[in-house]
Structure 1
Amino acid sequence: MSDIRQSTAAVIYNPIKVDVDVLRKEIVRAAADAGWNEPIWLETTAEDAGQGMVEEAKQADVDLVIAAGGDGTVRAVAEGLRGSQIPLALLPSGTGNLLARNLDLTLNDMPGSVTAAFTGKDRPIDLGVIDIEREDGTRERNVFVVMAGMGIDAKMIKNTDDDLKKRAGWLAYLGAIVKSLRDPAELHLRYRLDEGRTKRATAHTVIIGNCGSLPANILLLPEAVVDDGQFDILLIRPGGLLGWIRVWAKIAWVNGIVRRTKSGRALAGEQKDDGDLKYRTGKRFVARLSRAEEIELDGDGFGKAAAFNAWIEPGALTVRVPGDDR
């Protein structure tokens, strides 16, 4: 009788974001309970947020990758796992937990999240892929699981004090928002959506979203679905202070609260353009800016982009989520 191969998980963790001793105790327990081998432990570094660790995990022929860290760790691990069919399990850590929020995962139950990693089911979701062109003409490719953005949101991230963010979480962004809103510069871009004609636009912010829920009950893209095979795109251009108040009311109140219930969605009606917010959907979004602008992916700054080419890859990432009996 041949031996039955035991499964093995790789844990890719950011030591700054997690309590390694607590994490190790919980994961070793859950792996043993599930009849799995001792996990492989791979620590991220300042130079490598997770992509290199994924390659090590692949070479070890693991059956599961567990990401324990912030949004940057999750994004980097997802980039490494793109198209591999190896499931990714999330252990929410840090301030944002963007993908976990959009998958409706529990954010504050480490033992439960660990157990679900070994006993849950697999769910294919889409990945955003983006080629960023720099001012000098060089290009680099990255992925994002939640959204990419230029304009106010990218400037906000650049203006946020990292030390304050560690202490105060998302409250640290408030001062950065105020500083960013004082910047009168707008984005001037030529863009093409799918196979449509090239258009011109002026906006304060451009968001390309795979899913749309953010911390603080903000639902930025209310109709975005993580596995529908398309982007939801938002162009924001409010007119003055009243315009920003309208934008905030629509995003924080109408989207963030009213649209979260079935009756509320019926009351709010269809998502529609107005003078401040313009929504689009598509599979590919190509844009060139009049000047290089800050760009962010999943809440992390990625420097300045003179142009970009973003597209959706349906089902390119497999995520381990709790089973139906949770």
Structure 2
Amino acid sequence: MTPDTARKTAAVVYNPTKVDIDSLRAAVTDAATDAGWSETSWYETSVEDVGQGVTARALEAGADLIIAAGGDGTVRAIAEAVRGTTVPVALLPSGTGNLLARNLHLTLNDLPHSVRTAFTGVDRHIDLGVIDIERQDRTRTRHVFVVMAGMGIDAKMIDNTDDDLKKKAGWIAYLRAIIASLRDPDELHLRFRRDDRKPQRATVHTVILGNCGSLPSNILLMPDAVVDDGLLDLLLMRPGGALGWIRVWWKIAWINGIVRRTAPGRSIAGERRNDGDLHYETATRFTARLSRPEQIELDGDAFGEATAFHAWIEPGALTIRVPESGAGA
């Protein structure tokens, strides 16, 4: 034990519906003791406070580390609260998607390893997406996202997902929602602007802004997205009919999700090119206004309807505790 570590305190922000609290307390207590840290503080999330408020309380109490024990919504809420600070966040994957943990190639099903990493790992600085959402009544709210923000098919899929089925069947529950969403004939009509470029108009089924691009089931939605490159990756999707959706699924699930994950595969697939089904761009800022209110999602959670939004990337604004071997992954 050193004088520095003796003064350090971790705070666990946990979703009680996602964790086995007795096992978690035992693992954290043992790891903190072994690392020479002070007694850990515990903060439970609720429907009324999904993480922002309790994380703010933990920071005010002087926490040196926030341990996130919950799903993607808990991680996003914690990131929103620690924005503007240098306090690191350690991830204990506990939900269905575990999107940020997947994109950082962290261990998903080994609680002791994840807890040890929280106290003995190193800090990695990654980008943070920030978005101002404008509602139909002209009010605006500011949020963050660590993985993706989207409108169109992906937001409708989230809205169509049966929460009870999701709890029982995990990621498989999204399949029913995907089918229901693909039947929706509505398109997005938007006027948008990337950085300082001229405004453009587009009609699409989906628009996604990504900080990173890997999803469960080996789906690589944005193959060039990197968590620490200082860029937002933009995807505009407009498949033409049933055949277009088949092409999209082939490109995302097979070409991106499997072929491009290896160097030989990338060589075989060649350079990724935009086409009528999928169009990729990058930017540091992206502004869009819709012709009518549309559903929007952040990191897999529905955030109601928006008539416009302004999103940007804050390079290196979020500090994540990772294993020393994965510091530069």
Q: Give the TM-score band, short-chain normalised.
A: over 0.9
Residue 64 (1) aligns with residue 65 (2): yes
Secondary structure of the residue that 1:247 maps to in structure 2? helix
Structure 1, residues 142-177: CA drift from partner, whole Å, max 9, x if none? 000000000000000001110110001111111111
The one-letter code sitting in structure 1 at the alignment partner of 2:164 is D
Alignment partner, residue 325 of structure 2: 324
Write the distance in 1 (CA, Å) between the matches of 2:201 and 2:209: 17
Alignment partner, residue 270 of structure 1: 271
Ranges of 4+ aligned residues in structure 1 off by more than 6 Å: none
Cα–Cα, structure 1 residues 243 and 3, in superposed 2: closer, same or farther, change >3 Å? closer
1:161-310 alignment to 2 at 5 Å? 161-310=162-311
- What displacement does 1:283 show? 0.3
The one-letter code sitting in structure 2 at the alignment partner of 1:263 is P
Point out where structure 2 has 5 or more consecutive residues left out of the alignment: none
- What displacement does 1:59 show? 1.1
Residue 44 (1) aligns with residue 58 (2): no
The one-letter code sitting in structure 2 at the alignment partner of 1:67 is A
The one-letter code sitting in structure 1 at the alignment partner of 2:273 is K
The one-letter code sitting in structure 2 at the alignment partner of 1:100 is A
- What displacement does 1:83 show? 2.2
Structure 1, residues 236-261: CA drift from partner, whole Å, max 9, x if none? 00000000000000000000000100
Structure 1, residues 18-39: CA drift from partner, whole Å, max 9, x if none? 0000000000000000000110
Write the distance in 2 (CA, Å) between the matches of 1:25 and 1:212: 34
1:117-128 alignment to 2 at 5 Å? 117-128=118-129
Secondary structure of the residue that 2:39 maps to in structure 1? coil
Write the distance in 2 (CA, Å) between the matches of 1:18 and 1:269: 43
Structure 1, residues 4-48: CA drift from partner, whole Å, max 9, x if none? 552100000000000000000000000000000110000001011
Cα–Cα, structure 1 residues 3 and 102, in superposed 2: closer, same or farther, change >3 Å? closer
- What displacement does 1:3 show? 6.1
The one-letter code sitting in structure 2 at the alignment partner of 1:81 is V
Structure 1, residues 73-120: CA drift from partner, whole Å, max 9, x if none? 000000101120100000001100000000000101000000000000
Alignment partner, residue 55 of structure 1: 56
Write the distance in 1 (CA, Å) between the matches of 2:119 and 2:156: 39
Secondary structure of the residue that 2:325 maps to in structure 1? coil
Write the distance in 2 (CA, Å) between the matches of 1:254 and 1:312: 27
Alignment partner, residue 92 of structure 1: 93
Point out where structure 1 has 5 or more consecutive residues left out of the alignment: none
Write the distance in 2 (CA, Å) between the matches of 1:144 and 1:223: 18
- What displacement does 1:320 show? 0.2
Q: Number of paired residues?
A: 325
Write the distance in 2 (CA, Å) between the matches of 1:20 and 1:80: 23
Q: Give me the TM-score of the superposition, normalised by structure 2.
A: 0.97
Cα–Cα, structure 1 residues 325 and 210, in superposed 2: closer, same or farther, change >3 Å? closer
Secondary structure of the residue that 1:324 maps to in structure 2? helix
Alignment partner, residue 146 of structure 2: 145
Alignment partner, residue 11 of structure 1: 12
- What displacement does 1:325 show? 8.7
Write the distance in 1 (CA, Å) between the matches of 2:146 and 2:104: 11
Write the distance in 2 (CA, Å) between the matches of 1:196 and 1:303: 29
Q: Give me the TM-score of the superposition, normalised by structure 1.
A: 0.98
Structure 1, residues 247-305: CA drift from partner, whole Å, max 9, x if none? 00000000000010011112112221011000000000000000010000000000000
Write the distance in 1 (CA, Å) between the matches of 2:236 and 2:326: 40
Secondary structure of the residue that 2:117 maps to in structure 1? helix
The one-letter code sitting in structure 2 at the alignment partner of 1:53 is V
Alignment partner, residue 80 of structure 2: 79
Higher mean C-alpha displacement, 271-280 vs 208-217: 271-280
The one-letter code sitting in structure 2 at the alignment partner of 1:143 is V
The one-letter code sitting in structure 2 at the alignment partner of 1:234 is L
Cα–Cα, structure 1 residues 249 and 325, in superposed 2: closer, same or farther, change >3 Å? closer
Write the distance in 1 (CA, Å) between the matches of 2:308 and 2:316: 26
Alpha-carbon RMSD: 1.2
Write the distance in 2 (CA, Å) between the matches of 1:268 and 1:325: 27
Alignment partner, residue 313 of structure 1: 314
